[in-house]
Amino acid sequence: MPNVTRVWLDESENECTMCGACEATCPEVFEVPEKMVIRGSADLTLTSQIVEAAEGCPVGTIGIEYDGSGKRDNPA
């Protein structure tokens, strides 16, 4: 599995609904006080949990970059 090098809130197509699914799946990386935010101390080595959270996002607003590609590598 490739290395996650960046995770972000991508609201270019949809807005975060603040459902909290990402935080429930991977609280070490995601926090939903109002809109989802990436924790400053996010552990990007939790690749499988990050991918699971992104796939579980009902509106596809979690962007993931792999291996420093400089682009969003996961589908919206």
CATH code, domain with 52: 3.30.70.20
Q: Are strands 62-66 and 4-9 parallel, antiparallel or unpaired?
A: antiparallel
Is position 73 within any domain?
no
- Residue 29: the pLDDT is 97
Q: Which domain holds residue 13?
A: 4-66
Is position 60 within any domain?
yes
Q: pTM for this one?
A: 0.91
Let me know: does 46 contact 68? Beta carbons within 8 Å: no
Is position 46 within any domain?
yes
**Cα–Cα distance, 45 to 60 (Å, whole number):** 21
Bridge partners, residue 63, by sequence: 8
**Cα–Cα distance, 40 to 13 (Å, whole number):** 24
Q: What is the pLDDT along the chain (76 residues), one digit of tens a residue?
A: 799 999 999 999 999 999 999 999 999 999 999 889 999 999 999 999 999 999 999 999 999 999 999 999 998 7
- Residue 2: the pLDDT is 92
Is position 24 within any domain?
yes
Is position 72 within any domain?
no
Q: What's the structural domain count of the chain?
A: 1
Is position 34 within any domain?
yes
What are the phi and psi torsion angles at 69 (to 5°)? -65, -25
